Amino acid sequence: MVANQARQLAVDLITSDFGDLVAKVCKCLLKKGALPLARLAMETELPREQLKKCLLVLIQHNCVQAFQTKKEVGGRVMSTTEYTALLDDIIHRLRFPKFLILIRDQFDEQCECLLGILLSHGRSTFEQLMQRLFENQPEVSGDITDQMRTRFAKLVQARYVERCPASEPQLVLDSEEGTITKKKLKEIVTDEERAVMAAAPLEAERFSFPTYSDNDASTESEIMADQSILVGEKRKRGVMEMDDDSIVLACEKDVLWRANFEEFVCSLRHKACIANVRPRLDIGAAVVLEAILKETRAKEKQNKAEYSAPFSMNSIVQALLGSPHGHLEHVRAALNQLGASCTGATEGSYRISLKKIIEAAQNSEMESIVLKRYGSEGCRIFRLLADKNGMIEQKQIPNLALIETKKAFELLYKLMKDDYLQMEEVASAQGKLFLWRVNRSSLQEKILNDMYHAASNLCQRLAHETTEEHELQLLKKNRITELQEKKVDRIRKVKPILEASILRLDDSIMLFHNF
Amino acid sequence: MAPSPSGLPGLPRPGPRSNMLAHDDKKVYEMIEKSGNKGIWSAEMKKYIPENILNKSLKLLLSKNLIKLVANVHNPRRKVYMLANLQPSEEISGGTWYSGKEFDTELIDVLKQHTLRFITKMKVVILDKIADSIKTSEILKVEVRIQEVKQVVDSLILDREIEAVLSNGSAEFLSIPKGKVCYRCRKMGHLEPASFVSVPCGVCPVINECTPDGVISPKTCEYYQRWLDF
């Protein structure tokens, strides 16, 4: 159910960025799953050439992944190329403004500019990036390019930019023993996930961006990266015989880069955790959590990790040296508030449950929705059942929530009708019993679905207002009536409201889906 | 009027009076007597006595002041009868929170506000102390019971105004024995309004019928129109 509204939102985003034809192809792939070119042509009824161009746009912008499958036909193994749409990556387009702000805050405006090009032009080589960056400037000095190269290396090193995945990987068949272990195969269900997994570059190669050896900014990881390039590229080009500068040059010309959404999501998740802790606990706990997440980021291996990577009290005190919240006693109190637990692996090693922080944020978001929709008494009933984390008999509810019986029953049925609560009828010696509960996972799914729907509606309304604006702008200035002028003014006021609402709503979508 | 043998002034003595009743009236009287302070619903009695006879008997017993009609707060339309000398049980009357048939929302609000003010003033406090403060405030005309105070406190917890914590016996909990449940104000009392419900779709009653080019669509939505025309 979630996927339906999410798919519609993805189609809206593609329509607004690339037009109706590309959106048609994308919609077909999202609806039907992975398809080969011939089937896709049949389904979309588009001419081959047009369809290929649409696919190229989608691949260029990391919205579609191609992959090869082998099938046995009449004793011969036939290889076909299929295309699958990457739903989550398409929806990330909604977050591009957030990604850009994040980079500006963490690095500078030039880095933001580099990322901006990667996001608006899709996958690019470093050379193409530089061409686009300086396209309006007739002469560019080597110094400026060097500065940009250093900035780009920083973005790669911080994992915000990564090498593009393989363009057409061979999908491992279920029966084959490939690089994917059996256990992992069980977890991976869709073609989309399998294709993404098969296309992903090796971890060492993914973030390697060699820079010229005389560059002072060259760091340890870059040196390591240089080595991995040597290994990775050896088969293709025999770079063993090349000098370092030629490797760098080759890398800048041939290697395609793209934004690494995983890292952005991880950073936004950390930010959401800190933002949630600040009002719920206090600023001290938030500062300590921020320091912990910064310290342990490099060690964090999994997306959506349940716990932070392990850390020692000492490392946090060191990191907060000079801060008013960095005193040992303060750190100890903050860790207590944050519910830090010992990892058990080594003595004095702690970890924080990020899942619990996210769950608390999700709960307060759900309560806030119920409060607005059903009022304080409806919210009290909802919290009573959510806190109980089990079932409560109908007759007990008015008393426990301190609400008039009739009103309580009315609210219960209203909440059930809208799928916020579930009711079970049980026969007993005293007659029928009605047991009520909050089913957290199904409710989250329902809320997420509604949020995707709302976001899709906002995007459609924004597109509608923009089209109207364009139509009005096409009119000649002297022909425009007063009424039309007022309309243009209204649209100009309305668009920022819609855009801001989309970004705010997306915070909640990320909270329920990506975090 | 001389006090009746039952000890309650003005109320009839049940036993001997029922002996003077006709057979059917006596049967109805006994059924009501058996139901005690929970009372009996007239529909329940209809199962055993024909309706016309039952109605006559009830009328007679009411006129003789032997039984009374009581309000059932959970089912206000039901006619529930019990002996005139009995006080209805809380199950029927709703207890302290009902005045007659009406749920006393005002009384609850006053009690909640008083409790919240008291907890804010005291920082950390145990249930008994809250009960004492309600007693001395004389908000309630009747004696307040600890379970009713607990109901008020629990309702404040559900409103996320206060939270229950266990005393550790030190610092702010110094005056409270270790391990005892106490109450304090929450740091984050009020919720930030969710972004979802600040757009029309978040509270839309017809969201399920809304489609891109349908009769109800975001392009023509009236709620959007009102929201954007502020």
Where is average pLDDT lowest: A28-42, A339-353, A453-467, B4-18? B4-18
Nearest C-alpha of chain B: how many angstroms from A345? 29
* Residue A411 in tokens: 């609210």
Same domain, A129 and A219: yes
Q: How many CB pairs under 8 A join A and B?
A: 109
Q: Mind listing the pLDDT tens digit for each residue in A141-167? A: 778 888 888 999 999 999 999 999 988
Assess whether B89 and B111 both reside in one domain: no
> What does the angle CA A190 – CA A193 – CA A196 come to, to the nearest 5 degrees?
145
Contacts of B188 in chain A (CB under 8 A): 279-280
- Contact status, residue A380 vs residue A403, Cβ threshold 8 Å: yes
Among A511, A512, A509, which Cα is nearest to A10's?
A509
What is the complex's ipTM, to 2 decimals?
0.76
Judged by a CB distance cut-off of 8 A, whether residue B197 touches chain A is: yes
Averaged pLDDT for residues A463-477: 84
- Residue A197 belongs to a domain: yes
Contact yes or no for A454 and B199 at CB 8 A? yes
Quick one: B60 and B129 in the same domain?
Answer: no
Q: Which residue of A has its CA nearest to B76?
A: A406
Q: Are B160 and A254 in contact (CB under 8 A)?
A: no
Clarify whether residues A233 and A286 are in a common domain: no
CATH number at residue B136: 1.10.10.10
Identify the CA nearest to A317 among candidates A305, A334, A338, A298.
A334
Residue B202 contacts A where some CB pair is shorter than 8 Å: yes
Q: Is residue B226 part of a domain?
A: no
Residue A141 lies in a domain: yes
Q: Residue A498 is part of which domain span?
A: 449-513
Residue B65's identity, in one-letter code, is: N
**Residue A177 confidence (pLDDT):** 45
Same domain, A235 and A176: yes
B-chain residues within 8 Å CB-CB of A367? 160, 191
* Share of residues in chain B with pLDDT > 90 (%): 25
pLDDT at position A73 is 75
Same domain? B145 vs B124: yes
Q: Is residue A362 part of a domain?
A: no
The percent of residues in chain A predicted with pLDDT above 70, rounded, is 87
In a domain, B211, yes or no: no
- Looking at the complex, does the CB of residue B171 fall below 8 Å from at least one CB of chain A? no
DSSP tag of A1? -
What angle (nearest 5°) sits at the alpha carbon of residue A155, between those of residues A216 and A93?
Answer: 165
| Neighboring chain B residues of A377 at a CB cutoff of 8 Å | none
Is the pLDDT assigned to residue A484 strictly greater than 60? yes
A285 and A298 inside one domain: yes
Q: What is the DSSP code (8-state) at residue A306? A: S
Residues B199, A501: C-beta atoms closer than 8 Å:
yes
Nearest-Cα distance to chain A for B218, in Å, is 5
What whole-number distance in Å separates Cα of residue A365 and Cα of residue A352?
A: 22
CB contact under 8 A, B201 and A460: no
For residue A423, is it within any domain? yes
Residue A63, φ and ψ in degrees, nearest 5 = -100, -20
CA B160 to chain centre: 21
Q: Do A143 and A242 fall into the same domain?
A: yes
- Distance between CA B102 and CA A404 in Å, rounded? 9
Please tell me whether residues B50 and B110 are part of one structural domain.
Answer: no
List all residues 6 or more positions away from A158 whose beta carbon is below 8 Å from its beta carbon. Answer: A106, A263
**Shortest CA distance from B199: residue in chain A:** A501
Task: Provide the pLDDT for residue A220.
Answer: 42
Same domain for A310 and A232, yes or no, is: no
B146: CB partners within 8 A, 6+ apart: B127, B128, B131
The conformation of residue B143, written as its DSSP 8-state character, comes to P
Cβ within 8 Å, pair B196-A450: yes
Verify that B128 and B153 share a domain, yes or no: yes
Query: How many independent structural domains does chain A possess?
Result: 5
Q: Are residues A256 and A159 in the same domain?
A: yes
One domain for residues B86 and B112: no
Residue B141 lies in a domain: yes
Q: What's residue A227's pLDDT? A: 41
Residues B34 and B67 in one domain: yes
Residue A411 maps to a domain: yes
Residues A290 and A381 in one domain: no
Enumerate helices (H) and strands (E) in chain A, giving the number of each. Answer: 23, 12
- pLDDT tens sequence across A275-328: 988 888 888 889 999 999 988 888 877 778 888 888 888 888 888 888 888 788
Cβ within 8 Å of residue A318, ≥6 positions away: none
Where do the H-state alpha helices sit in A281-342? Answer: 283-296, 313-319, 328-337
Same domain, B110 and B144: yes
The SS3 assignment for B174 reads: coil
- Assign A225 a pLDDT band (cuts: 50, 70, 90): very low
Range of B117's domain? 104-185
Minimal C-alpha gap between A373 and chain B (Å) = 6
Q: Do A281 and B192 touch (CB under 8 A)?
A: no
Residue of chain A with shortest Cα separation from B224 = A461
Instruction: Mention every residue, 6+ apart, whose C-beta is less than 8 A from residue A483.
Output: none
User: Do A365 and B194 count as a contact with CB atoms less than 8 A apart?
Assistant: yes
- pTM score, two decimals? 0.81
Cα first-last separation, chain A: 20
Nearest to B26 by CA among B51, B78, B61, B71: B61
From A372, A453, A508, residue closest to B207, measured CB to CB: A453
The answer to whether position B224 is within a domain reads no
- Decide if pLDDT at A180 tops 60: no
Task: Record the tokens describing residue B56, joined without a space.
Answer: 């006559």
CA distance A508 to A514: 10
State the total domains in chain B: 2
In a domain, A285, yes or no: yes
For residue B7, what pLDDT band results from cuts at 50, 70 and 90? very low
Let me know whether A59 and A181 are in one domain.
Answer: no
Domain ends where: B41, B64, B94? B94
The answer to whether position A267 is within a domain reads yes
SS3 content of chain A, % helix, strand, coil (to 5): 65, 10, 25
- A269-287 burial string, b = 16+ CB within 10 Å, else e? bbbbbbebbbebbbebbbb
Q: What is the rounded distance in angstroms from the CA atom of residue B92 to the CA atom of residue B97?
A: 12
Same-domain check for residues A12 and A35: yes
What is the percent of chain A where pLDDT is above 90? 50
The residue among B105, B199, B204 with the most chain A CBs within 10 A of its CB, best to mutate, is B199
Same domain flag for A463 and A433: no
Which of A382, A394, A404 has the most B C-beta neighbours within 10 Å, making it the best mutation to test the interface with B?
A: A404
From A282, A461, A505, residue closest to B219, measured CB to CB: A461
Residues of chain A contacting residue B105, judged by C-beta atoms under 8 Å apart: 404
Q: Which residue has tokens 């034809």? A: A21
List CB contacts of A312: < 8 A, sequence separation 6 or more. A348, A349, A350
pLDDT digits (tens, 9 = 90+) for A398-434: 989 999 888 999 999 999 999 999 999 999 887 889 9
CB contact under 8 A, B151 and A508: no
Res A238 pLDDT > 70? no
Q: Do B151 and A501 touch (CB under 8 A)?
A: no
Does residue A199 lie within any of the structural domains?
yes
3-state class (DSSP) for residue A427: strand
The C-alpha atoms of residue B120 and residue B134 are separated, in whole angstroms, by 15
Whether residue A112 sits in one domain with residue A69: no
B54 touches chain A (CB under 8 A): no
**pLDDT value at A226 more than 80:** no
